């Protein structure tokens, strides 16, 4: 990308020099150094450019009620204090992560990505690389070993292509599920299920007591539902685990996936809320936070919501427990991070400076302290103070140490059009208009178009 930019810049500079040679003296400001007997000439435009901070565009969904919003606000405040005279971060607020992803795809198609893109759990990186819109971060990371050591080799390798680094993550996201201990106790359930058979027995017990067992959704990729699904697939046996760990699978016609979809169909029909079909993550989350459902699959970022009195009742966090999935599984894989898509070198340099500021170890420690975000750096350990501050986080990390099956989310591993197809077909599955086998066939047809 830069080679082309540099060549283009040189051509433009040459043309400009010819044009400027014909300009009148009123466009220039002369400075004479009498001690050296030399005169330097600088255009007023150049002087102005040198004095103005470089502006970079940073759209984000980590705003408003998003649990990461307080951390981002603090990062921006600190960055402004330190770099405000050199770099101006223009924040564009896009509430809702799906709305953010949809907008990034539109900008990607138009060749107009912003300077900094947060891929997070979505595979936007490969889409952007295919359009040659990503800045190679290799030289920046090699020039700053301390920043590079803020990430594991696995995370860097996951965000690399052909030996070049293109992205960096700021955190790790082990994803299990949360359960309402109070609702469990009401029906005599002592703790999280060890097997899927036990899990569905618990669902029956809760249902008989008039408690809706699980939060689910189908719109916007069906995030919560897919977490249940892929855990069933991954813990079903070697073939299921291989499929669950496959990136960009094209054949969904396998027994593990079809059996998982059969269970998802049953869960839609018996064990979840009526708004799950067609509902978004927000519906699923609200149902759990209001005590309407007993379980929700989600990541550790939701822990902050349990303590947010604007989202749930006071003391709700004390009712919640965290668990790994039945069958001894957990989402625990390298994740996509931020990547830079600046169109010129000055903006790229400025964007990387900001990226360093929000992803280095100091920033990761700030995230751990402020919102309980698990650091990406292998050298940061959870102190007793942090464990006491975020007991659910400590509980999940302790449980994850003995996990047997680890796998990525479907959102990061499937082709984007397959993720979209899941959402569009899930309602038909839920109502029984299509079978799990037909669902798998339609997913395969969509994947094969890539």
Q: What percent of the chain has pLDDT over 70?
A: 88
Contact 297, 231 (CB under 8 A): yes
Contact 219, 279 (CB under 8 A): yes
**In the prediction, which pLDDT does 65 show?**
80
Contact 112, 87 (CB under 8 A): no
**In the prediction, which pLDDT does 96 show?**
84
Res. 399: pLDDT tops 50: yes
Q: Is 123 helix (H, G, I), strand (E, B) or coil?
A: coil
Cα distances from 316 to residues 187, 287, 299, 319, 393, in angstroms, run: 19, 13, 17, 5, 15
pLDDT-derived band at 108, boundaries 50, 70, 90? very high
Contacts of residue 198, Cβ cutoff 8 Å, sequence gap at least 6 = 326
| Distance of alpha carbon 401 from alpha carbon 399, whole angstroms | 5
**In the prediction, which pLDDT does 50 show?**
58
Query: Which of the pair, 28 or 96, is modelled with greater confidence?
Result: 96
Res. 104: pLDDT tops 60: yes
Q: What angle do CA 392, 282, 94 make, to 5 degrees?
A: 105
Residue owning tokens 């822990």 = 303
Res. 23: pLDDT tops 60: no
Res. 8: pLDDT tops 80: no
**In the prediction, which pLDDT does 21 show?**
39
Closest to 338 measured CA to CA, from 96, 117, 99, 69: 117
Phi-psi region of 368 (alpha: psi -120 to 50; beta: other; left: phi over 0): alpha
In this predicted model, what pLDDT tens digit does every residue of 252-301 receive, in sequence order? Answer: 999 999 999 999 999 999 999 999 999 999 999 999 999 999 999 999 88
**In the prediction, which pLDDT does 372 show?**
87
Average pLDDT of span 31-37: 38
- 137: enclosing H helix or E strand: none
Average pLDDT of span 378-387: 89
DSSP-assigned letter for residue 325:
B
Averaged pLDDT score across all residues of the chain:
88
**In the prediction, which pLDDT does 308 show?**
87
Res. 132: pLDDT tops 60: yes
Q: Which of 48-52, 150-154, 334-338 has the lowest mean pLDDT?
A: 48-52
Closest to 175 measured CA to CA, from 425, 429, 405, 423: 405
Cα distances from 237 to residues 19, 38, 260, 325, 404, in angstroms, run: 71, 79, 12, 14, 11
Res. 175: pLDDT tops 80: yes
Average pLDDT of span 407-417: 91
Q: How far, in whole angstroms, is CA 229 from its chain's centroid?
A: 19
Contacts of residue 162, Cβ cutoff 8 Å, sequence gap at least 6 = none
Res. 58: pLDDT tops 90: yes
CB < 8 Å & 24+ apart, contacts of 140-149:
140/352, 141/165, 141/168, 144/356, 146/360, 146/361, 147/356, 147/359, 147/360, 149/377, 149/379
Contact 319, 393 (CB under 8 A): no
Average pLDDT of span 313-321: 95
pLDDT-derived band at 382, boundaries 50, 70, 90? confident
Contacts of residue 233, Cβ cutoff 8 Å, sequence gap at least 6 = 240, 243, 244, 256, 257, 259, 260
């Amino acid at each position: 990308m830069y080679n082309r930019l540099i060549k283009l810049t040189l051509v433009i500079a040459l043309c400009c020099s010819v044009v400027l040679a014909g300009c009148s003296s009123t466009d220039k400001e002369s400075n004479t150094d009498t001690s050296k007997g030399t005169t330097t000439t600088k255009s007023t435009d150049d002087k102005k450019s040198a004095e103005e901070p470089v502006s970079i565009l940073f759209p984000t969904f980590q705003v408003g009620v998003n649990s990461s919003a307080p951390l981002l606000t603090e990062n921006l405040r600190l960055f402004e204090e330190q770099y405000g005279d050199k770099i101006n971060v223009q924040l564009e607020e896009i509430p809702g992560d799906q709305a953010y992803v949809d907008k990034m795809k539109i900008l990607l198609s138009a060749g107009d990505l912003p300077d900094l893109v947060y891929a997070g759990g979505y595979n936007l990186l490969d889409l952007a690389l295919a359009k040659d819109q990503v800045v190679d971060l290799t030289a920046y990371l090699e020039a700053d070993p301390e920043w590079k050591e803020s990430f594991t080799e696995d995370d860097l390798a996951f965000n690399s292509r052909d030996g070049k680094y293109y992205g960096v993550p700021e955190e790790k996201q082990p994803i299990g599920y949360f359960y309402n201990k109070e609702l469990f106790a009401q029906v005599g359930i002592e703790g999280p299920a060890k097997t899927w058979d036990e899990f569905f027995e618990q669902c029956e017990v809760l249902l008989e007591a008039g408690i809706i067992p699980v939060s689910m959704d189908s719109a916007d990729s069906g995030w919560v539902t897919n977490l249940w699904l892929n855990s069933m697939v991954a813990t079903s046996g070697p073939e299921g685990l291989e499929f669950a760990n496959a990136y960009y699978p094209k054949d969904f016609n396998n027994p593990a996936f079809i059996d998982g979809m059969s269970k998802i169909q049953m869960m839609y029909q018996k064990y979840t809320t009526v708004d799950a079909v067609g509902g978004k993550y927000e519906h699923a989350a609200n149902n759990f936070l209001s005590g309407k459902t007993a379980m929700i699959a989600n990541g550790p970022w939701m822990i902050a919501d349990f303590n947010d009195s604007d989202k749930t009742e006071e003391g709700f966090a004390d009712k919640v427990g965290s668990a790994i999935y039945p069958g001894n599984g957990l989402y625990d894989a390298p994740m996509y991070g931020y990547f830079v898509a600046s169109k010129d070198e000055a903006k790229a340099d400025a964007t990387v400076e900001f990226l360093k500021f929000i992803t280095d170890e100091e920033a990761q420690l700030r995230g751990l302290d402020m919102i309980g975000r698990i650091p990406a750096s292998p050298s940061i350990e959870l102190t007793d103070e942090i464990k006491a501050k975020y007991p659910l986080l400590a509980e999940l990390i302790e449980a994850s140490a003995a996990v047997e099956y680890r796998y990525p989310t479907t959102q990061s591993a499937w082709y984007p059009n397959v993720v979209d197809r899941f959402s569009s077909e899930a309602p038909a599955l839920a109502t029984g208009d299509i079978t799990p086998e037909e669902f798998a066939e339609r997913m395969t047809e969509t994947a094969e178009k890539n």
